[in-house]
Chains A and B, each alone.
Chain A
Amino acid sequence: MMLLPCPWCGPRNVTEFRYGGRAVERPDPGTTSPERWRRYLHLQKNPLGWDTENWYHSAGCRRYFAVQRHTGTNEVRAGEAST
């Protein structure tokens, strides 16, 4: 079983959460260039190693938070609450 540390609920089984993808900055669609928007949409990194990502506690407090996860081993380190 893989546990994720929700900052509000504590460690819970990963099945309670929804994966929110890599934590990257979303450009403002109104002002960004097509090229930057395309990179944001399609050309994200796919790293092997530690990475920061967003998770949503859908079967719990229903809040987002960031987690550091090693994508090769799925080891996680507590992250912080996202806004």
Chain B
Amino acid sequence: MSSSSNGRTASGGNGRRPDRLRDYSAWRLFRQGLSNDEWPRAWHHHDLRSSYDVVIIGGGVHGLATAYYLAANHGIRNVAVLDKAYIGSGGSGRNTAILRSNYLTPEGVRFYDRSVTLYEHLAADLNFNVMFSQRGHLTLAHNDSSLRTMRWRAEVNKVQKVDSEVIGPDKVSELVPYLDTSAQTRYPILGALYHPPGGIIRHDAVVWGYARAADAHGVHIHQKTEVLGIDVDGGRVSGVRTNRGSISAPIVVNCTAGWSTLISDMAGVDMPVQTFPLQAAVTEPVKPFLDTVVVSGTLHVYCSQTDRGELVFGASVDPFASYSIRGSLEFTEGVAGHVLELMPALSKMRLLRQWAGLCDMTPDYSPIMGPTPVEGFYVDVGWGTYGFKAGPVSGEAMAENIATGRVPEIIAPFGLDRFADGRLVGEKGAAAVGH
């Protein structure tokens, strides 16, 4: 289990919950089943107000979690979340839903571990089943150098009280009998970093759960509302212009991941971010046979089996920067070939579909969070290929930053200023393939 001893409640929140959050229950399910009535809407449509206390751009897990914690932990409810399409249409509805905290740097491990703790309590917190399945996470080592990085990671993890250890090929094949652990393969498995609390979650449910909870607290969620410009007066943000009209606001938060440089450009803030597509694919469903998440950095693939029985495959980002989310045959061929090197028994499985999402990559594979040189304009970006797991902790910390005006310690290492000071947080060794 991950640690949760920083004084606050494990789950966040200050205890007061709106009645509407409690209205999903076994009794309610039974009654709806008999009555055939429609379920009430989980979140509502509102007219755009001419001003809000906080405007959050981007209705993915980061924007919605920030809105939720602003309302639930700090009582700041006059908040709007704007999305140009629908909530979850960005990376939050396209990721492969892997959660873990076995990173490489102490600041990274601490940060992601807080998120795993929040995720462990999220279903109860939001009264919404997010199906977090802590089935364990394996990162395979095929050569000495990756084994060395894994030992390093395991030690850093243990110091932070994160359950993480290097295991040998025997234990690997016990956990995943279908893996080819023989010495005859081109990339033999020498060992693995095993992280029992890691796992997968239902990503859409997380988005919907936060949206419903934020809405219940009075937050306005505006879909099909595209930000076209940001107003800055004398170094201070004063509002945003959208396709539905202008909004004045003293605080604007950029939570737009793959599109985040376009938004920061509107406020005149430069960011060290390049946008790359990341693809994933899913097979037809089969009976459960793969309990853990399996990642191979050397082969550039990872694989997990969903509760429905489908296998989900992923890889590293596409080889060139782009805002296009078209899939490619090269990706499918690469993934299929590499998965078969790991698990030859899958050769008869059929791929059902593939898709892509946009990733906002930073030079050190770590996020950029907190204030910017434009007063009132905050960023929560640079989520690259690994940001879904960080939604809860980012939302909690960004909300605290906005409410108190102080950067919480847990996100202090991830400020935009680190690129000027040369304090990069190198996580490439733990985040390039395993997201």
Residues of A within 8 A of B (CB): 1-2, 14-15, 18-19, 21, 38-39, 41-46, 48, 71-74
User: Which 7 A/B pairs are nearest by Cβ-Cβ distance?
Assistant: A19-B320, A42-B272, A46-B261, A43-B270, A42-B419, A72-B323, A74-B324
Residues of B within 8 A of A (CB): 259, 261-262, 270-275, 319-324, 326, 328-330, 363, 419-420
Q: A1-B329, A74-B324 are in contact. Are A19 and B319 (CB under 8 A)?
A: yes
Chain B: CB-nearest residue to A1? B329
Q: List 21 A-B contacts (CB under 8 A).
A: A2-B328, A14-B320, A19-B319, A19-B320, A19-B321, A21-B321, A42-B272, A42-B419, A43-B272, A44-B274, A46-B261, A46-B262, A46-B271, A46-B274, A48-B323, A71-B321, A71-B323, A72-B322, A72-B324, A73-B324, A74-B324
Which residue, B259, B272, B363, has most C-beta atoms of chain A within 10 A?
B272
Given A39-B270, A46-B275, 15 other A-B contacts at CB below 8 A? A14-B320, A15-B330, A21-B321, A38-B419, A38-B420, A42-B363, A44-B272, A46-B261, A46-B262, A46-B271, A48-B259, A48-B323, A71-B323, A72-B323, A74-B322
C-alpha spacing A22/B322, complex, angstroms: 12
A71 contact set on B, CB distance < 8 A? 275, 321-324
B261 contact set on A, CB distance < 8 A? 45-46
Chain A: CB-nearest residue to B324? A74
Q: A38-B419, A74-B326 are in contact. Are A43 and B271 (CB under 8 A)?
A: yes
The smallest beta-carbon distance between B67 and chain A, in angstroms, is: 26
A43 contact set on B, CB distance < 8 A? 270-272, 419
C-alpha spacing A18/B319, complex, angstroms: 8
C-alpha spacing A12/B271, complex, angstroms: 33
